[in-house]
Structure 1
């Protein structure tokens, strides 16, 4: 359905929110919304989607926030608790109905840089073909203080290090994203044209829906660029570790869901690229093999060595030639011995 009115250069912030009633979580949301009120460019609206939170007074709390915010805040409620992917899709649809042609994702505990709206609007205005733009992240703790990069968990330290690599720009960059980067951006650092977000919705899976969607964005042929100078404040608590890992049942359970959900997104991206004629099946198989090698190394370093070995075994079974080129000698030696049974 086309929007009732069109605001081609305004930004709709999409914010999924889950409320367990804790004071800390609500304080984080207040800080997130305050970061929007500090925008130097006022051409924005926010769409806050309650992911069917269990706290009994969530609706009252969010209604009070909406009435006290100086900017435009629309509060929505998901019909069931299904994770951030479903919540973002609902926010995307609402922003589209209100005519926003540009979106900025922002999680409910992260902080938008004061110049984010201005920089994002300028980037998309400068390139009418641009579909997706990402900014960097700056790690902050639960008190808003900067992190020492050396103290970050391995996965976050990898993200921090990869920010220093050459930025991905242009089209058909799904190959590099799959085989060379663990992740170029968290959701709170993603900005996208609304029509792309409508064509490529987030999967309704509990974790790692962001990387799966990024694969699918890029596999669709979307043009990507980087927006410098407006890092998102990415909140990582000093105490308590990763909430995603806790909610999933621990590191190994989280990494299993990560491997499954990311692979599903990459396989869909490859299939889309093949249909578009941007890749052939042989190229797609090679990319998937190299992704499995990379993710196997990543989850092994993150505390799931047996899961990592299983990813390497799948890579070898999928494409032995590519595996032989890109696996290390130790990884090749770790494969099960070929069967001699007749």
Structure 2
């Protein structure tokens, strides 16, 4: 009898800085340091512009062809698109679950071990996430006070009352806001396949978390295996935020709203919420989203979001 396929780390890659190769090497080292060695990684290069970066990836694959697999995109599509490509690859190769891993973040050595144990011991769980610390371009820890309000918001929710259990999408939408970073999340492959990331370049992960929770069964939180999330201090936040610029927050608000509304539709179809709950959920969602935008200094956008409550008649 053939042995089960290994778990799969799904890693989008786009080299857009001089340090991209250094970050990738450190991320790969964190995978090789896993206490559970039953893994493989599929790296999806999103048409990195420098041929030397693609050559670096090919060498990684050549050094460990039984464990490292490379998919090269002909055009740049964004991280969500690449993750979907990786999930489909993992599904085709029989992988029981996927662990999302960005190419500049560092996995905790026990990440895979703890995730596998959770999935085995808690069959009702199909989505696992952990907390994280923030590091700079040199691997130094960034103080909580220097983080953006949105990152502080996530870490505060982890410390005070992390979301777990069924219907987590509701607490995400109306209570905690964005719950966790992509490099902290592992999902049973079947759920990842039916809940792909949207092909957008802002907040595509939050959109997916809403729908995964609505379409899945239960979420587990693992505080003991924190990811190290890299935020270079010569930029204000995520790389998407830097690339999109001034429209980032408006686009995030639109994507988050679409994801939450899709979660409502999924839950109505599955009969895990009742129709008379919908207006209250939308009202609470808009109020929570407006609060997040206000914390980020987007007061005008926050007022627009609150105006949606009257416009949609959800009071």
Using the alignment, how far apart are the partners of 2:219 and 2:7 within structure 1? 17
Q: Residue 7 of structure 1: CA displacement?
A: 2.3
> Which one of 2, 22, 30 corresponds to residue 27 of structure 1?
22
* Of 249, 254, 262, the match for 1:255: 249
Matched, 1:296 2:290: yes
**Which residue pairs with 2:300 in the alignment?**
306
Distance in 2 (CA, whole Å) between partners of 1:295 and 1:289 is: 10
Q: CA deviation at 1:88?
A: 0.2
SS at match of 1:52: coil
8 A contact 1:18–1:50 mirrored in 2: yes
Does the 8 A contact of 1:286 with 1:319 survive in 2?
A: no
Q: Could you tell me how far 1:312 is from its partner in structure 2?
A: 0.5
2:94 matched to 1:99?
yes
| TM norm structure 1 | 0.87
Who is 1:325 aligned against? none
Mapping 1:49-128, distance limit 5 Å: 49-69=44-64, 72-128=67-123
| Cα offset, 1:82, TM superposition | 1.4
Structure 1: runs of 5 or more not aligned: 322-342
CA displacement 1:242-300 (0-9 Å, x = unmatched): 222220023xx100110111111111110010111111233122112211111112112
Alignment of 1:273-288 (within 5 A): 273-288=267-282
Which stretch shows the higher mean deviation, 53-62 or 225-234? 53-62
How many residue pairs get aligned? The number is 313
Distance in 2, matches of 1:117 and 1:37, equals 11
Larger Rg: 1
Task: Say whether the 8 Å CA contact 1:106–1:189 is kept in structure 2.
Answer: yes
Which residue pairs with 1:7 in the alignment? 4
Q: Is the 8 A contact 1:289 1:316 kept in 2?
A: no
Cα pair 2:11 2:103 within 8 Å, conserved: yes
User: Gapped runs of 5+ residues in structure 2?
Assistant: none
Distance 1:6 1:254, change over 3 A: farther
Would the aligned equivalents of 2:290 and 2:306 in 1 still touch at CA under 8 Å? yes
The 5-angstrom pairing of residues 194-205 of structure 1 reads 194-205=189-200
Which digits, 9 at most, give the CA deviation of each residue in 1:70-119, with x for residues without a partner?
97110112342111110000101111122111110011110000011111
Counterpart of 1:229 in 2: which secondary structure? strand
Q: Secondary structure at the match of 1:81?
A: coil
Q: 2:236, 2:63 → 1: CA distance?
A: 32
